[in-house]
């Protein structure tokens, strides 16, 4: 039998019980829609996490001091005071593929100005810091290399600090005091919001690391060294080179530093959301299978109802194969139409979720293609048993069926 | 004319129940081209089983069946299906038309399952021609539910004729029809037979059997009588009588 005829007969049969066909397809519609919506929401969450990790800066390697142990008391991670400005300069000078290096100081302190005070993080950084962190100054300007060289008493402040100390006024050009030392505010940093770990990234005050070493911390050692690599491919090599260089500078003493790679953090964070996406998709996939069973159920009913019709077709010369194709095509039409409508519903639902909840939603083409292909496959899989049952009917029995 | 159907000691046993049922017990029969045969018998005599065997819907347990000279007793399911499609035409007691499918599409059905491919136009033309033979070309686009019983049976006959079968098989074709419509259908059969088509029909009505040329009677799975019909009824004549009687009844009323 010609294919167009098969399609025609199948559509006619489906139209004959239109309500039933729609309800049967609904199982697939909901299944496909659920898979697409869930995967979209999962992907959205994943991309948000990735974006928030990327906002920390790209291709970043950090060097932290090692542990400090004295008299059997072990100080824990980063407790040793062994990283020096010279280490940072050596890295900048000798390791290839490094774009920027910033020696880092990090302390908490009370900040006073304008009759108000606020406890915040005081960071000592090089001028390259903002580039490394993909950050910028919105009002005013960043301190200059000359400021770093001369350990000038200047700072740029985060949005939160600005709001706390200088409410309703322009902080640029104002003066504030850290540990009783006056610093001039050169600029306000762009708002970064909360990071992946829930910390307010705008609650910060950045000064030249030289000023920090000399005036605030008053110690010779750095808290860490921030390194930006040229490309993600170079990360591993640079990590190794930095380790080798610092080891060499310590003349064979026990390594008293740790080199860390931001990639590891990013991978751990995205792995979590990836697991969530797979889990959501799998749960939605179950409803797709339930929809498939619905199709099988209705096709079985249809075969029973149309036993006589099958008998007539067999009597006038239809092969079992013709009858099989007939019912299989019906099941496939039912499931793929359900799949197509499910895509529309799924994309719509994803959009709705993103509108109503403000969640980021990422509708992926692979999820759409996958869900539609899977629904057609379900038509074949669950349609096959009823279709085979129809094809194997005995023409005499089928004709006699009331 | 050469024999279209040759049955040689045909047996059919059903093993499905607890006790095997020996429905046909050794039937030997020749049917020549152009014959018009009625098979009669009480229910359970095996006449329906014999028809199913003749129609290649079923295979004999034992014996040989030659259809148009070729042995068909050992063919498989698909080969039998092709045979039914090409060489046989069926007419059933219950018409067995597809509902919600027009008369023309019902008639086209066997052509769709043939091994040869036809153009849509050719299929359509042949279906209309077939409907024309049974006098229903003006009802081609009607659905079975819009047709009378006699008309539905005529559509079924048109369907049976579309692939130019060697033999037309009818199982109680008048069983669901009133006597006047039955005569009408027998008229169609007689006309087809005059054109050279071989017909075999099952009936339990003696007067219907009298429209045929040869009567077979079955009992307990065996042929017990095989006679030529001497006082054959002619449908056109009988129809005249019925119409006259109806007219008379109205006159006297």
The answer for B14, left when phi > 0, alpha when psi is -120 to 50, beta otherwise, is beta
pLDDT at B154: 94
pLDDT at B110: 93
Which DSSP state fits A201? T
Share of chain A above pLDDT 70, in %: 95
Q: How confident is the model at residue A233 (pLDDT cuts 50, 70, 90)?
A: confident
Q: How confident is the model at residue A80 (pLDDT cuts 50, 70, 90)?
A: low
| Structure tokens belonging to residue A257 | 């530093």
SS3 A375: helix
How far apart CA A105 and CA A118 sit, in angstroms, is 19
Of B165, B178, B173, residue with least CA distance to B204: B173
Bridge partner list, B3: B32
Q: Which residues contact A304 (CB under 8 A, 6 or more apart)?
A: none
pLDDT at A301: 92
pLDDT in tens, A149-195: 999 999 999 999 999 888 888 889 889 999 989 999 999 999 888 77
pLDDT at A354: 87
Q: Which residue has the tokens 């019902």?
A: B106
pLDDT at A19: 92
More reliable by pLDDT, A375 or A402: A375
The continuous run of DSSP H or E covering A3 comes out as: helix A3-16
Task: From chain A, pick out residues whose CB is under 8 angstroms from the CB of B109.
Answer: 312-313, 316
How far apart CA B109 and CA A129 sit, in angstroms, is 81
pLDDT at B17: 78
Q: Which residues contact A177 (CB under 8 A, 6 or more apart)?
A: A111, A112, A113, A183
Of A218, A188, A220, A217, residue with least CA distance to A204: A188
The whole-angstrom distance between B171's CA and the closest CA on chain A is 12
Helices A85-94 & A235-249 angle (0-180, nearest 10):
130
A317 and B85 within 8 Å at the Cβ level: the answer is yes
pLDDT at B153: 94
The pLDDT of A89-114, averaged and rounded, is 89
B134 neighbors B195 (Cβ within 8 angstroms):
no
| Structure tokens belonging to residue B212 | 């045929």
Task: From chain A, pick out residues whose CB is under 8 angstroms from the CB of B112.
Answer: 1-2, 5
pLDDT at A76: 64
The pLDDT of A92-102, averaged and rounded, is 88
The whole-angstrom distance between B132's CA and the closest CA on chain A is 20
The pLDDT of A54-65, averaged and rounded, is 81
pLDDT in tens, A292-322: 888 899 999 999 999 999 999 999 999 999 9
pLDDT at A327: 92
Nearest CB to A315 within list B77, B90, B114: B90
* Three-class HEC string of B26-74: EEEEEEECCCEEEEEECCCCCHHHHHHHHCCCCCCCEEEEEECCEECCC
Interface of A with B (CB under 8 A): 1-2, 5, 12, 16, 308-309, 311-322, 395-396, 399
Best mean pLDDT range from A280-289, A354-363, B178-187:
B178-187
What count of other Cβ atoms lies within 10 Å of the Cβ of residue B75? 17
pLDDT at A319: 93
The pLDDT of A130-149, averaged and rounded, is 89
CA torsion through residues B134, B123, B108, A8, sign:
negative
| Structure tokens belonging to residue A227 | 């390194």
Q: Kindly identify which residue of chain B lies nearest to residue A318, measuring between CA atoms.
A: B113
pLDDT in tens, A19-47: 999 999 998 999 999 888 888 888 888 88
Counting the structural domains of chain B, the total is 1
pLDDT at A39: 86
| pLDDT in 10s for each residue of chain B, 253 residues | 578 999 999 999 988 778 888 999 999 999 999 999 999 998 889 898 999 999 999 889 999 999 988 898 888 999 999 999 999 999 998 899 998 899 999 999 999 998 888 888 999 999 999 999 999 999 999 999 999 999 999 999 999 999 999 899 999 999 889 989 999 999 999 999 999 999 999 998 899 999 999 999 999 999 999 999 988 999 999 999 999 998 888 876 5
CATH assignment of the domain containing B186: 3.40.50.300
A78 neighbors A223 (Cβ within 8 angstroms):
yes
DSSP string of chain B, one letter each residue? --EEEEEEEEEEEE-SSSS-EEEEEEEEEEEETT-EEEEEE-TTSSHHHHHHHHTTSS--SEEEEEETTEE-TT--HHHHHHHHHHHEEEE-TT--PPTTS-HHHHHHHHHHTSSS---HHHHHHHHHHHHHHTT-GGGTT--GGGS-HHHHHHHHHHHHHTT--SEEEEESTTTTS-HHHHHHHHHHHHHHHHTT-EEEEE-S-HHHHTTSSEEEEEETTEEEEEEE-SS---HHHHHHHHHHHHHHHHHH-
pLDDT at B115: 83
Nearest CB to A317 within list B96, B97, B113: B113
Average predicted confidence (pLDDT) for chain A: 86
Share of chain A above pLDDT 90, in %: 30
Task: Give ∠ CA A193-A197-A203 in degrees, rounded to 5.
Answer: 40
A148 neighbors A127 (Cβ within 8 angstroms):
yes
A227 neighbors A76 (Cβ within 8 angstroms):
no
Half-sphere exposure of B71 (CA within 13 A, CB side): 8
Q: How confident is the model at residue A77 (pLDDT cuts 50, 70, 90)?
A: low
pLDDT at B248: 87
How far apart CA A298 and CA B173 sit, in angstroms, is 34
Mutate to test the interface with A, among B48, B112, B127 (most CBs of A within 10 A): B112
| Structure tokens belonging to residue B86 | 């090409």
Of B198, B174, B101, B183, residue with least CA distance to B143: B101
pLDDT at A288: 85
SS3 A208: strand
B98 and A312 within 8 Å at the Cβ level: the answer is yes
Q: Where do the domains of chain A lie?
A: 3-52+268-400, 81-255
Query: Can you give the residue range of the structural domain that contains B203?
Result: 3-252
Nearest CB to A1 within list B52, B96, B113: B113
Give me the interface pTM, i.e. the ipTM: 0.92
Nearest CB to A315 within list B57, B86, B114: B57
Q: How confident is the model at residue A268 (pLDDT cuts 50, 70, 90)?
A: confident
């Amino acid at each position: 039998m010609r294919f167009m005829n098969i399609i025609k007969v199948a559509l006619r049969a489906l139209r004959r019980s239109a309500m039933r066909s729609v309800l049967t397809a609904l199982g697939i519609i909901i299944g496909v829609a659920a898979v697409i919506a869930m995967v979209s929401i999962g992907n959205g969450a994943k991309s948000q996490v990735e974006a928030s990790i990327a906002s920390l800066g790209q291709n970043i390697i950090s060097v932290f001091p090692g542990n400090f142990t004295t008299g059997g008391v072990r100080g824990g991670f980063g407790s040793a005071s062994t990283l020096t400005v010279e280490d940072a300069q050596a890295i900048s000078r000798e390791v290839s593929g490094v774009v920027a290096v910033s020696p880092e100081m990090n302390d908490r302190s009370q900040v006073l100005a304008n009759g108000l005070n606020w406890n915040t993080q005081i960071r000592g950084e090089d001028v390259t810091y903002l580039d490394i962190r993909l950050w910028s100054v919105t009002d005013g300007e960043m301190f200059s290399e000359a400021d770093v060289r001369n350990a000038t008493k200047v700072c740029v402040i985060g949005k939160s600090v600005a709001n706390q100390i200088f409410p309703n006024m322009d902080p640029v050009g104002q003066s504030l005091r850290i540990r009783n030392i006056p610093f001039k505010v050169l600029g306000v940093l762009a708002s970064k919001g909360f990071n992946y770990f829930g910390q307010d990234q705008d609650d910060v005050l950045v000064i030249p690391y030289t000023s920090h070493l000399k005036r605030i911390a008053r110690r010779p050692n750095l808290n860490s060294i921030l390194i930006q690599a040229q490309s993600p491919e170079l990360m591993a090599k640079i990590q190794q080179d930095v380790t080798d260089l610092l080891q060499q500078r310590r003349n064979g003493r026990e390594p008293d530093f740790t080199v860390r790679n931001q990639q590891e953090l990013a991978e751990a964070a995205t792995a979590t959301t990836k697991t969530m996406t797979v889990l959501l998709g799998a749960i939605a996939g179950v409803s797709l299978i339930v929809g498939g069973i619905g199709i099988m159920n209705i096709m079985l009913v249809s075969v029973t109802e149309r036993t006589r019709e099958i008998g007539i077709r067999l009597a006038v010369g239809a092969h079992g194969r013709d009858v099989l194709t007939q019912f299989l095509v019906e099941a496939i039409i039912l499931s793929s139409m359900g799949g197509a409508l499910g895509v529309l519903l799924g994309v719509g639902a994803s959009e709705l979720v993103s509108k109503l909840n403000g969640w980021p939603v990422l509708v992926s083409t692979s999820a759409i293609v996958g869900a539609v292909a899977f629904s057609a496959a379900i038509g074949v899989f669950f349609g096959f048993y009823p279709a085979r049952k129809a094809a194997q009917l005995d023409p005499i029995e089928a004709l006699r069926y009331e | 004319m050469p024999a279209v159907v040759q049955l040689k000691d045909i047996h059919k046993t059903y093993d499905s129940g607890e006790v095997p049922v020996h429905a046909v017990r050794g039937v030997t029969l020749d049917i020549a081209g152009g014959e018009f045969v009625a098979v009669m018998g009480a229910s359970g005599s095996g006449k329906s089983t014999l028809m199913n065997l003749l129609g290649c819907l079923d295979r004999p347990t034992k014996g040989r069946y030659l259809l148009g000279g070729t042995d068909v007793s050992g063919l498989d399911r698909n080969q039998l299906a092709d045979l039914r499609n090409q060489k046989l035409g069926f007419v059933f007691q219950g018409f067995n038309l597809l509902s919600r499918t027009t008369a023309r599409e019902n008639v086209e059905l066997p052509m769709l399952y043939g091994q040869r491919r036809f153009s849509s136009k050719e299929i359509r033309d042949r279906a209309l021609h077939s409907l024309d033979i049974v006098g229903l070309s003006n009802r081609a686009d009607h659905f079975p539910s819009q047709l009378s019983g006699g008309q539905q049976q005529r559509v079924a006959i048109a369907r049976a004729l579309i692939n130019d079968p060697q033999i037309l098989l009818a199982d109680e074709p008048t069983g669901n029809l009133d006597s006047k419509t039955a005569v009408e259908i027998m008229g169609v059969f007689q006309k087809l037979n005059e054109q050279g088509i071989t017909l075999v029909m099952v009936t339990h009505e003696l007067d219907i059997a009298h429209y045929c040329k040869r009567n077979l009677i079955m009992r307990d799975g065996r042929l017990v009588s095989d006679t030529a019909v001497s006082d054959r009824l002619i449908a056109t004549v009988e129809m005249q009588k019925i119409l006259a009687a109806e007219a008379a009844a109205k006159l006297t009323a």
